[in-house]
Amino acid sequence: MKKVAVILAGCGSLDGSEINEAVLLLLALDQHDIEYQAFAPDAYQAEVCNHASKQRAMERRNMLVEAARIVRGNILPLTKFNADEFDALLFPGGSGAAKNLFTYAYDGINFRVLKDVEKAIKDIHAQGKPIGAMCIAPLMVAKVLGGVNVTMGSGECRQAKELPMIGCRHTETTHGGVAIDKENKVFSTPCFMLDASLKDIYQGAWNLVEEMVKA
């Protein structure tokens, strides 16, 4: 892999992309000498949260504008994504991803996936290129592709038990573990789906990239 796309959903675990996961994923890519380009939908977040009080805030924020904070402004609108230009596609997680990129936080397993996100996943998959997903994001990839194997961490968590409802399988993993679907080139790691430390998140991000490089 020489260049990959990373799709973000804003900035902050409760209403955007999980910042620790996003930054440590970018670090892991850099350590593997892989160039990355960040993308985000140019649209309002589903909601805005005060991360100190954990309460919803009565304001509006744009996903692209907020996600730009994570990558020092080096970001493009998701409509500019072209699968031909990248060797892989990656998604950090966060509760906000499950509100903005797909609607699991509101609709449960009957969730919808944002059209541009769905298209990006399908376009990369159609070219036989790897897809990596962290935390809650593997659930979204599973829904779009169907019939894939991913991890949500513990097999006892709600999301793991719901995967068969969308025709997918679950592999139980612990901190730093990576579930590998070789046939579909889908790679996933649990991150904050488990009670994780920053060290655990880094290990998961590094291992995820390492396995994708081998694909």
| Residues labelled catalytic | 135
Find out whether 120 and 131 touch, Cβ atoms under 8 Å. Answer: no
Closest CA to 116 of 77, 148, 155: 77
Give the tokens for residue 141: 């990839």
The b-or-e profile of 11-46 (16+ CB within 10 A means b, else e) is bbbbbbbbbbbbbbbbebbeeeebebbbbbbbeebb
Measured distance CA(169)–CA(141) in Å, rounded? 12
- DSSP conformation letters of 43-71: SB-S-EEETTTTEEES---BHHHHHTTTT
Task: For residue 159, give every residue at least 6 positions away whose Cβ sits within 8 Å of its Cβ, in sequence order, or none.
Answer: 104, 136, 139, 152, 193
* Under 8 Å between Cβ of 67 and 96: no
